[in-house]
Each structure stands twice: as C-alpha cells, then as structure tokens.
Amino acid sequence: MKKTQVIFHPSTELYGADRIMVLAAKANADFETVIFVPKDGPLLDFIRENLPKADVIIAPEMPVIQRSLFSVKGIATTLKNMRIFSSLIRDAVPDHEGVMYYVNTLACSFVLPLLRRKKGKVLTHVHEIIDNPAIVAKATAKLALRYSDKVICVSQAVANGILKRTKDSNNKIEVLHNGILPVECDHQSHQDLNFYLFGRMKPEKGQWYLIEALSQIPKAQLKGAQFHLVGGPVQGKEEMLDDLKSRIQENRLNDIVHLHGFTNDITGHMAQADVCLIPSLMKDPFPTTVLEAMSAKKVVITTNHGGAKEAIVDQESGFLINPDNPKQFAKAILHCIHEQNNLQQIGQNAKNRYEQLFTQEHFFDKWKVMTSDLLFPIWENQTQIQTVRTAE
C-alpha cells in the first residue's frame, strides 16, 4: 500500500504558510503527493521546483473561509461549493488507510467534515490565532478538534488560541515550531544603520505603528538611521499605500523612510539590514520573517503577544515590545542606534538560537516523527496481517 499525502491549501501567494506547507510535504518525500489549491499563483512554481512529482489540482470550488463569507450570498456560495467539492474529492482523492489528509490552516476548516468518511488519517496544521469574529474562532477550533486525528500548531500561542475556544479532551494538539532554510546573504557594509520591515502593507503588520514610534523621536536622534519597508498592499486595498505615504509626509520622515514594494526574494534587502522590524499589531502566530532574520544574523525588534516571543529571547537575541506602546518601540529603536557596537553580538546570538531550534532539518525530523506517529498503527497492523498470512 502506497503512502499518500493529500493536501488542502487555501492560497497561492507564496507567503509564510504557503512555504511551510511545501516544506512539510517535502519532509515526506516518499509519499505520493496531491495538492488542492483554489487558484493559480506564484506558489505553483514553488511547488513545481520543490515537489516536481506532486499532482496539483486547481479547484475554485474548494471552500475557503474568507471575508466574503459573511453575507447571505457568501453563505449560499460556500454551501454550494462544499457540495461540489465533496463530490470532487469523493471521485478524485485516494481513499485508503495509507492516506494522510493534510489540511493546512484553519481557512480550510470547511474541508474537514467532508473528510469524515475517509479511511485515512486527518492532520490539521494551524498557523492562525483567531480572535475575531468570535464565532469563526470557536467554529474553526471545534471543527479542527472534532474532525482531525492530530492538530499541529506552529506555536504555543496558536495552541492556546484553540484551547481558549474549546477543550482538547483527546490530546490531539501538538506544537511544532516552523523551521526554514537559512537566508544566505553577506552583510554589506554601509554608512547608515538600516532598519527593515518586511510584510504586507496593512496596519496589522505594524507599518503605521512604526511611523507613530518614529514621530516621537527627535529628528536629530535619528541621524544616520534609515528605515525600509518591503511589501505591497493587499489586493483591493491599494489605497493603503497612499495613506501610508501621507503619514510619512505628515511626520516629515520622507528622508529616512523608504517604500520598496513586494518582492518574492528578500535576500538582497536582508543583506542590507542591520535590524529587522516585525512590529505586528495582530497576534502573529509564528512569523517566518523572524526566523529568516535570525538565520541571517540580524537583530530583531518584534511584538511580544504572539508566537515571536517563543523565538526571541528579549535583550539577548533581539528585543520584544508591546503592540500598543509606541514609546517603548521608539526606545528599542534608539537603543539600537546608540548601542551599535553591541548589535553584532545580538545578531550572532540570534543565529545561534536559530541553528539550535529552527532549521529546516529540525522541522523535517519532527514533522516525520509526528506524521509517522499518526500513521504508524496502520503500518504496524498491515505488517501484523502480512505476518499472519505468511505463517498460514
């Protein structure tokens, strides 16, 4: 019996959860792989590069939880899509005890009940901390624990978010921090101290928070510091770019704050960075950018109310700040400006911590163990049956 992983993934934009899904699939290289996505996008080329034997199925009817759901039309469309997708996976998806159904992110929660009659095992990989709407937070948590055989959370903060909504009476939840390949870049010498913020351009990611913090610092104390924002606005929210530019101009920060737009490859920017800023206002589950910066030996300033605090040791391998305290944020920035001689050691501490805990190899090894534990009883039973038949 061939081992097979059937993956359900909600997006194709090639952000953190997209890359981690491919990494998880790659860990089980001996599995046949089928991946369902709702549309075409940059992720598909990344899949072809890393999983050349994978069968990718674009299924626009795959039910994905998104903002458009919260309307009469959205509910009707979702119910219709669930019926269509149920028929699709009934006919197109392998159904035997050697299958692992890998549902990536809670955005795919509506797929879970459609798998309830399948013979294989269901694994849900949770990358989100959902607080609002509360009904979605509770519903997705209950769906994950009811219909999954195992729920893997990318941080303890994520696990706590699920446990806040429902009890894990069957001990299905396990925490596995993401692991990544290191960002290989030679530090480029430059006169200025460069701060980089990587992320989609929206208030929750902290770009506006950064401008608020900088506005509280006398301009003379910012001399020699440059701030670079890498990332584009969410599709359909292009007005955010104009608003951010306006805030920068209002605070007379045009000469030190620079917008670079979206890029698939941050290596060049990372080489220029001295300090990486991840000042997320939302509870970031376990930001990949933090790991990328640590792997590149960069100092990190990040908020402390999500999974990032499980990666960064405050004052040792980076700096943790509150998400609602621009004065504290400004103080951390000034500390980096005033204590530049110490930044190299902090960056080295970050690199050491990355190598101890968050490499791709660490992730591979732990993912293999977790998925083997999920499927092992099946293979053990198959071996026992074969042994009995041989003896007969």
* Residue-level pLDDT at 14: 85
* Residue-level pLDDT at 189: 72
Measure CA of the first residue to CA of the last residue in the chain; give whole Å: 21
For CATH 3.40.50.2000, the residue range(s) in the chain are: 4-179+361-391, 193-357
**Tens digit of each residue's pLDDT (9 = 90 or more) over 218-275:** 999 999 999 999 999 987 888 999 999 999 999 999 999 999 988 878 888 999 999 9
- Whether domain 4-179+361-391 has CATH 3.40.50.410: the reply is no
Tell me how crowded residue 197 is: count the other CB atoms within 10 A of its CB.
25
In the predicted model, what is the mean pLDDT of the chain?
91
Percent of the chain predicted with pLDDT > 70:
95
Residue 77, helix vs strand vs coil: helix
**Tens digit of each residue's pLDDT (9 = 90 or more) over 292-301:** 999 999 999 9
Considering only 79-88, 98-107, 368-377, which range has the smallest mean pLDDT? 368-377
According to DSSP, residue 93 is labeled S
Residue 265: Cβ-neighbour burial (10 angstroms; 0-12, 13-18, 19+): exposed
- CA–chain centroid gap for 47, Å, is 16
- Residue 379: is its pLDDT beyond 50? no
* Residue-level pLDDT at 1: 63
Pick the residue with more confidence: 383 or 81? 81
Nearest to 105 by CA among 82, 127, 136, 133: 127
Task: Look up residue 12 and give its amino acid.
Answer: T
According to DSSP, residue 166 is labeled S
Tell me how crowded residue 109 is: count the other CB atoms within 10 A of its CB.
24
**Tens digit of each residue's pLDDT (9 = 90 or more) over 169-193:** 999 999 999 999 999 887 767 789 9
Instruction: Decide if 207 contacts 251 (C-beta within 8 A).
Output: no
Give the predicted TM-score (pTM) of the model: 0.87
- CA–chain centroid gap for 64, Å, is 17
Q: For the domain covering 193-357, report its CATH number.
A: 3.40.50.2000
